[in-house]
């Protein structure tokens, strides 16, 4: 009987040692990794593989904005789409308003780039330097049509409470100045009227903003006016109303 008691004591001691070690390891893992919700376990291996997490979050927010609309955009969904924990966005954005402000700022950056791209394309297509202004206008309208939700966030006055307006004014100034600079070099033709850069800019800007709004709302379409595609329709409108062929 003595040898049975010795073996039993030995086994119990080893089992207890194993349990303690396993328990210690589990606690260590918990302390190091934290609790992982079930719905996030499939993305944790991708965490922080981004070169710039802030930029990655903004990019995902823009995609969600266009796919789901403003109501479907949240910091939690952006985190999930970027493959990071739900707490990660708060290292870069205080709240949803802060994120939306960054999204709008990125939108204005792309907006200016699209305007410049279309303007350069107008010149490279041998349309003449005077058509640079029309290219800027086309870039404006095409950006709006390609990014309706982002454009709405950037320009809709009702969004003022959702974004940092002061920050957006700074961001939007670049694209507006592109038009000012172009019109200062190529003034609009006005019968027997002196050049007026301020009015020319206001006229051109209101034209493309109004055109964008009408097309987005579906109030009219290219097909209604005999055009199969919206791009040549925009080209024709801008050339006609900005009267660029007449600029000296």
Supply the pTM of this predicted model.
0.74
Q: Which two tokens stand for residue 147?
A: 């990014």
Q: Which residue, 169, 168, 238, 172, is CA-closest to 207? A: 238
- pLDDT interval class at 25 (50, 70, 90): very low
pLDDT digits (tens, 9 = 90+) for 176-220: 899 999 888 877 766 667 778 888 888 888 999 999 999 999 998
Rounded CA-CA distance 246/248 in Å is 6
Give me the helices (H) in 51-95, please. Answer: 53-68, 75-82
CA–CA dist 215, 137 (Å, integer): 14
Using one digit for the tens of pLDDT, what is the confidence trace for 220-245? 899 999 999 999 999 999 888 776 55
Three-state SS string over 205-246 comes to: HHHHHHHHHHHHHCCCCCHHHCCCCHHHHHHHHHHHHHCHHH
Check if the beta carbon of residue 99 is closer than 8 Å to that of residue 75: yes
CA distance 188 to 133: 10
Tens of pLDDT, residue by residue over 140-187, are: 999 999 999 999 998 875 565 666 666 667 777 888 899 999 888 877
Superfamily of domain 96-246: Tetracycline Repressor, domain 2 (1.10.357.10)
Query: What does the block give as tokens for 203?
Result: 């006229």
By CB neighbour count within 10 A (0-12 exposed, 13-18 middle, 19+ buried), where does 240 fall? exposed
Return the structure tokens found at 100: 């939306």
Place of tokens 């007026």: 196
Domain extents in the chain: 1-35, 40-93, 96-246
Residue of 45, 36, 109, 101 whose CA lies nearest to 73: 101
Q: In CATH, which superfamily holds the domain spanning 40-93?
A: Homeodomain-like (1.10.10.60)
């Amino acid at each position: 009987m003595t040898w049975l008691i010795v073996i039993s004591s030995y086994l119990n001691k080893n089992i207890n040692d194993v349990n303690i070690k396993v328990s210690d390891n589990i606690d260590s893992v918990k302390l190091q990794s934290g609790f992982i919700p079930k719905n996030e376990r499939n993305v944790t291996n991708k965490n922080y593989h981004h070169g710039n997490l802030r930029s990655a979050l903004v990019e995902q927010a823009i995609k969600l904005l266009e796919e789901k609309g403003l109501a479907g955009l949240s910091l939690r969904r952006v985190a999930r789409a970027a493959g990071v924990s739900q707490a990660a966005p708060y290292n870069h954005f205080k709240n949803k308003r802060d994120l939306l402000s960054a999204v709008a700022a990125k939108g204005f950056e792309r907006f200016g780039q699209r305007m410049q791209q279309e303007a350069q394309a107008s010149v490279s297509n041998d349309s003449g330097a005077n058509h640079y202004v029309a290219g800027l206008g086309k870039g404006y309208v095409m950006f709006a049509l390609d990014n309706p939700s982002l454009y709405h966030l950037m320009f809709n006055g009702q969004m003022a409470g959702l974004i940092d307006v002061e920050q957006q004014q700074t961001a939007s100034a670049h694209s507006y100045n592109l038009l000012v600079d172009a019109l200062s070099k190529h003034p609009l033709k006005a019968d027997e009227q002196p050049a007026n850069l301020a009015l020319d800019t206001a006229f051109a800007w209101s034209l493309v903003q109004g055109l964008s709004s009408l097309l987005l709302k579906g109030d009219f379409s290219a097909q209604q006016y005999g055009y199969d595609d919206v791009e040549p329709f925009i080209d024709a409108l801008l050339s006609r109303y900005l009267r660029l062929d007449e600029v000296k």
